[in-house]
Amino acid sequence: MDAIILQILNGLDKGSAYALIALGLTLIFGTLGVVNFAHGALFMIGAFCAVTMQRLLTLSHTVIDPSQTDFLGNPLQTKVPYLASIIGADGAQALIAWAVPLSIILVIPVMLFVGWAIERGLIKHFYKRPHADQILVTFGLAIVLQEIIRAVYGANPIQSPAPPMFSGSIDLGQYLGFQANAIVYPIWRLVYFGFSTLIIGAVFAFLQFTTFGMVVRAGMADRETVGMLGIDIDKRFTLMFGLAAAVAGLAGAMYAPIVSPNYHMGMDFLVLSFVVVVVGGMGSLPGAVFAGFLLGILQGFASMNEVKAILPGIDQIVIYLVAIIILLTRPRGLMGRVGVMED
C-alpha cells in the first residue's frame, strides 16, 4: 500500500508538470490554432530564469586574498557577492537560498515578453499555413532556443536548490498510520504539486470569471462571430500566447530544484505533453489537466518494480500505450470537442 501511495505522489508530481505544459499547449492551440512544438523550450527557459535569478543574486566582485593561494600558487581570488556588501553576508545567504521562488518575479515578465515576441515575430506568419508547417517552424525554434541557452549557460546541469526549509523530505507515512520511513517524500515536490494546482486554478478562474477570459472562451468557440461583434480577438489571442508561455515558464522555474536545469530538458517534456494534450482532447483545457495527472500517475505505477517484473519496460511505453487505447476507443480524446482538427 505504501508503495502505491508513493507512486501516486510521484504521479501527481510528474503530472503537475505535464498538466501545466499541456495547459499552455491547449491554450495556444485553442485560441490560435497553432501546434506549438516550441512549448517545451519555454518550460526550459523558465527553468533557466531560476538559474538567472541565482546568478543575479550572486553577482560578485573579486577580492584578492594574499593569505591563501589558488591551485597554481597564485594569490587566491575570492568572489564576494555585491549583495553581501549591501545587506550583509547572512542576509545575502538567506536571499540567495530563496532564488528559485524569487525567480517567479523574473519569470512572469520575461515569459510574457518571450511569448509575445515569438507570436508577433514568427508564429503569426504561419496562422494560415498547414499544421505541418507550424510544427516544423516551432520545432526549429525550439532547437534554436535550446542552443542559445547552451551557448550561454553550458551543457552541464546546473544545481538550483530549493530553499533550506523546503529542501528536506517528510515522513508522510507517520501521519497516515504507516510505520516510519514507509512514505518519505521530498517537501519541494509537494510544494510543486501545490503550486501547480494554484496556477491551474488561477488560469481557469481567469478564463471563467473575467471579461477578458469570457471573450477568449467565446473566441475559442466561434472566432468569426466574436470578430463580427467588433472585438479585436487577435490581440487577445496574442496575449493568451504570452499567458501560455508564462504558465510554461513558471512550471519550469519551480521544477528547477527537482531536475537540475539543462538545455535539453524541454525536449524531454515536449513529446509527453503532446500525448497528454491528445489524450485529454485537442482544445480541451480540463482534458489537458486531467490527462496530465492521469498519465503521470499511470507512469508512476508502471515504474513499480512489481509491475516491471511482469511487464519489463512498461514504464517507458505506458503513456503511449494508453494514448493508443484511448484514441482507438475515443478518437477525440477524453474530453475533446467536436470539430477540433477534424476538418
Partner 1 sequence: MKKANFSRRGVLKTGAVAGAGLMLPTYLRAESHTGFTNAPTGDTVTFGFNVPQTGPDAEEGLDELRAQELAVQHLNGEGDGGMLSTFSQKNLDGTGILGKKVNFVTGDTQTKSDVARAAAQSMIQKDGCIMINGGSSSGVAVAVQGLCQEAGVIFMAGLTHSNDTTGKDRKANGFRHFFNAYMSAAALAPVLEKAYGTDRQAYHLTADYTWGWTQQESMAAATEAMGWTTTQNVLTPVGAGDFSSYIAPVLNSGADILVLNHYGGDMVNSLTQAVQFGLKGKQINGKDFQIIVPLYSELMAKGAGSNIEGVYGSMNWNWQLQDDATKAFVKSFGEKYGFPPSNAAHTCYVQTLLYADAVTRAGSFNPCAVVEALEDFEFDGMGNGPTTYRGSDHQCFKDVLVMEGTASASGNANMVGYDTLKIVEQTPRAQVEYPEDHPMFAGGALGDCNPGA
Residues lying near partner 1 in the complex (CB under 8 A) are found at: 2-3, 6-7, 9-10, 13-14, 58, 60, 68, 70-72, 76-79, 147, 150, 154-159, 161, 167-169, 181-182, 184-186, 188-189, 257-260, 262, 264-265, 268, 299-300, 303-305, 308, 315-316
**Cβ closest to partner 1, residue 140 vs residue 168:** 168
Query: Smallest distance, Å, CB 92 to partner 1?
Result: 13
**Cβ closest to partner 1, residue 76 vs residue 176:** 76
CA distances in angstroms from 64 to 86, 119, 302, listed in the order given: 19, 48, 55
CB 236 within 8 A of CB 215: yes
**Cβ closest to partner 1, residue 9 vs residue 199:** 9
Query: What are the beta bridge partners of residue 76?
Result: 65
Cell numbers for 172, please give them. 508522510
- Backbone phi and psi for residue 84, each to the nearest 5 degrees, phi listed first: -65, -35
**Cβ closest to partner 1, residue 61 vs residue 131:** 61
Residue ranges of E strands in the chain: 60-69, 75-81, 169-171, 184-186
Query: Smallest distance, Å, CB 259 to partner 1?
Result: 5
- Backbone phi and psi for residue 89, each to the nearest 5 degrees, phi listed first: -65, -40
Query: Smallest distance, Å, CB 148 to partner 1?
Result: 13
Cell numbers for 309, please give them. 517484473
CB 221 within 8 A of CB 16: no
**Cβ closest to partner 1, residue 296 vs residue 336:** 296
Query: Smallest distance, Å, CB 255 to partner 1?
Result: 9
Query: Smallest distance, Å, CB 316 to partner 1?
Result: 6
Cα separation, 106 vs 98, in Å, equals 13
